[in-house]
Amino acid sequence: MARCVGVLALQGAFREHVAAVSRLGVAAREVRQLKDMDGIDAMIIPGGESTTMGKLLNEWQMLQPLRERIEQGMPVYGSCAGLILLCRVIENSDQPRLGVLDATVRRNAFGRQVDSFETDLAMPAIGPEPVPAVFIRAPVITGVGPGVKVLAEVKGQAVAVRQNNILATSFHPELTPDTRLHGYFLGMCGS
């Protein structure tokens, strides 16, 4: 189990992730600058605006060090904008990214009318009961490399994936009381 999970706190819905991890009895630290990453053994990248977060990561010289930590095996979980930042290919965009997840993502993929919605999602990796999932201007994954496992889909499109130490969801589990997804992530953090 992780001793301390960093939650990227430059922008977006980071407080809810801190709360979810804390509810599971694990220490969480808001990461605002490079030195905040010292001593963390896992990282969560929250939802928000991926272009802003990528730009800030770049400006604060955190993008490359964070990429290296992930490539060296540090577990990372990205939700929504966090998922976008993890992906290697972002359709029609050259925005800054970590690019560590061998997948292609389409931003704002659910269109205007259904911009935001909530659904119960089958996700066998988490457990037999469906996961309550909140989608807010959410992306979908439109392509994955051979090392990427799809964990959940909406209308045949991937919305949760895992590649070794990298977990990513299009939706926001931190906005619901269900902590199973965070529990699954902490389970990826070893003992």
- Closest by alpha carbon to 169, among 84, 108, 93, 91? 84
Strands in the chain per DSSP E: 4-8, 27-31, 42-45, 76-79, 87-90, 101-106, 116-121, 131-136, 140-144, 149-154, 157-163, 166-169
Identify residues 123-162 at the interface with ligand GLN (CB under 6 A): 136-137
Number of residues that bind ligand GLN (CB under 6 A): 11
Assign 10 to helix, strand or coil: coil
Q: Which is nearer to ligand GLN, 56 or 84 (CB)?
A: 84
User: Measured from the CB of residue 82, what is the shortest distance to ligand GLN in angstroms?
Assistant: 7
Identify residues 45-64 at the interface with ligand GLN (CB under 6 A): 47-50
d(CA 123, CA 181): 10
User: Measured from the CB of residue 107, what is the shortest distance to ligand GLN in angstroms?
Assistant: 4
Q: Which of 16, 17, 87, 172 is catalytic?
A: 172
15 interacts with ligand GLN by CB under 6 A: no
Q: Which of 16, 17, 87, 174 is catalytic?
A: 174
d(CA 10, CA 60): 10
**42, 74 contact by CB (below 8 A):** yes
4 is catalytic: no
Angle between helices 180-187 and 14-23 (to 10 degrees): 70
d(CA 178, CA 29): 21
101 interacts with ligand GLN by CB under 6 A: no
17 is catalytic: no
Q: Which of 80, 129, 153, 189 is catalytic?
A: 80
84 interacts with ligand GLN by CB under 6 A: yes
17 interacts with ligand GLN by CB under 6 A: no
Q: Which is nearer to ligand GLN, 75 or 82 (CB)?
A: 82
Binding region for ligand GLN (CB under 6 A): 47-50, 80-81, 84, 107-108, 136-137
